[in-house]
Amino acid sequence: MEWTEDLSVGNEVIDEQHKELFRKINDLVLAINHSVCKYKIGDVIRFLDEYIVFHFSEEEKMMQKSSYPGYKAHKAQHEDFKRNFEELKGELVKLDGGKKPGSYDLSVQTNQVVVDWILEHIAKVDKKLGEFLSPSS
Ligand SMILES: [Fe+2]
Ligand SMILES: [Fe+2]
Q: What is the pLDDT of residues 54-112, one digit of tens each?
A: 999 999 999 999 999 999 999 999 999 999 999 999 988 887 655 667 889 999 999 99
The closest ligand to the CA of 14 turns out to be 2
- Domain range for 56 is 5-133
CA of 107 to the centre of ligand 1 (A): 23
Neighbouring C-beta atoms of residue 85, cutoff 10 Å: 19
Q: 127 CA to middle of ligand 2, Å?
A: 9
Q: For residue 68, which ligand has an atom nearest its CA?
A: 1
Cα 119 to averaged position of ligand 2 atoms, centre (Å): 10
**CB neighbours (10 Å) of residue 48?**
20
Taking the C-alpha atoms of residue 124 and residue 51, their distance in angstroms, rounded to an integer, is 21
Distance (Å) from CA 34 to ligand 1 centroid: 31
CA of 10 from ligand 1 middle (Å) equals 13
Phi-psi label, residue 10: left if phi above 0, alpha if psi -120 to 50, beta otherwise: left
Q: How many domains does the chain have?
A: 1
Q: pTM above the 0.85 mark? A: yes
CATH number of the structural domain spanning residue 26: 1.20.120.50
The predicted-structure confidence for 30-46, as pLDDT tens digits, reads as follows: 999 898 888 888 899 99
